[in-house]
Chains A and B, each alone.
Chain A
């Protein structure tokens, strides 16, 4: 069986997220209006290959996921959950993962391949007070809020019980090559 494409994985993630938090028809109506009014923008995964490396990509490492230069953190903005009692794709006790996220396309320096990363926020607890070096704000191909799927300035706590931001994770959701 053919494995699902990154687009399928992302779509599934977003759809599941929407299904979980959108209890009111108005939300779905507005989302529908967005989809109709705007042509769905091309995901960045298609243009990840064959580009010169960014400064982040040249310096990134694969050993310590609690550092800002960890390869998956190419477009993260926030406190790394791994510094706060969570992990690279798990939330610290007392907080909840957001069902939706922004995404980045990051290059793993070990195999030279690019992967789709979902930066899911952990929510519902006051912000984690980790050391300064756990607060990251990388911006490789991060876009403004009017392109929300690639915007890392947004508090991505839609659909959780409380939209209070706690920390950010970087889950691997598929290949971008």
Chain B
């Protein structure tokens, strides 16, 4: 017992001391072989990559490189924050609402600017308030020239706060009674969808905003237009899509005039799905069910088989339409139900899709937009909104 104790003590002691003695004899050699590592912060290129996307995650936006399915960085995004990417891809904008003490205290609403290379906070602008209406891309938009941010608010009256991003302050508030959300024009303003079935068109480029209204063109009670209807911001063309699958292409502006609608099912050679609550048909649906690829005039739609009023149901397939011929040009099956899509705007685009499987965290699927092949499937704990540059 006693001898065993001594052995246990002496052997480790020698093991510890001998290398030190050896080290004293050859200090230069140790320094040659082991350089202490220096901590540093990674940097990204100055502009956002064409195949990248910001994916809504719990309390944050996670920046992904879609080619490698790799996380590049994180932006903060508290309770139902919104995100927009500057047209020059050099800045990310986040709008957030916080209370000074978590769930109580003073409410603070603000817009933040982050540098795309360092992801450092570069600007923080207080705003009167913003809408806390389940995160939708259409709560926040930027003018095409990167000068103005449009922030939708509901108190519960509705208005849009316009922020001058050059001056770093609020420029004006525009009341849009009975209307909501913002859809950017190519230049000089935005439109909002209204409860009377028309649009409010807000001209603004500094100075006093002017508001015009279109006549009613959809039935807000029986076949409303999706809040998530997509816009090609370069041409300022909106595709207002109704719950029953009609597409009203509209060149946005002070005299916006929705064109005669075409039907998603008919464009696919099928009978148009009606409004029957027991009428099964292919229908659009999801949390962010639409995306456009501006360069090739393509509209991507999440479609599912369901009855009327299943506009929140996830998609089983992505249908691809040519917005010039009004024909379906591709039908992309999905390996699991999907709630949200976005499409990158380059010549070889990727689709970012967020899964919607009951009792399972959202997976991020990255697909080749041409072939529909799933290139990556990531356990991203994603929420159903992704944002790409140029949209």
B-contacting residues of A (Cβ < 8 Å)? 27, 30-31, 33-34, 37-39, 41-42, 44, 51-55, 77, 100, 124-126, 132-133, 137, 139-148, 151, 153-155, 157-158, 161-165
Contacts and interface: CB of A to CB of B under 8 A. Distances in A.
Nearest to B181: A145
B358 interface: yes
A139 B177 contact: no
A171 B182 CA distance: 33
**4 shortest A-B CB distances, which residue pairs?**
A30-B157, A38-B178, A34-B177, A155-B132
User: Main SS of the interface on chain B?
Assistant: loop
Interface stretch (B102-110, B230-238, B321-329): B102-110
Contact of B104 (A124, A132, A143, A147): A124
Contact of A164 (B104, B220, B358): B104
Interface string B154-182: 11111100000000000000010111110
B133 A143 contact: no
B224 A143 contact: yes
A134 to B, nearest CB: 11
Contact of A145 (B97, B133, B221, B276): B133
B194 A148 contact: no
Given A30-B177, A39-B196, A52-B277, A144 B226 contact: yes
A126 B102 contact: yes
A144 B194 CA distance: 10
A144 B132 contact: no
Nearest to B227: A144
Contact of B276 (A52, A141, A148, A155): A52
B312 interface: yes
Interface stretch (B23-31, B39-47, B303-311, B368-376): B303-311
Nearest to B102: A126
A114 B107 CA distance: 39
B134 interface: yes
Contacts of B80: 155
21 contacts: A30-B157, A34-B157, A37-B177, A38-B194, A38-B195, A41-B196, A51-B277, A54-B307, A77-B134, A100-B156, A137-B312, A139-B312, A144-B224, A146-B192, A147-B224, A148-B154, A148-B195, A151-B133, A154-B133, A163-B132, A164-B103
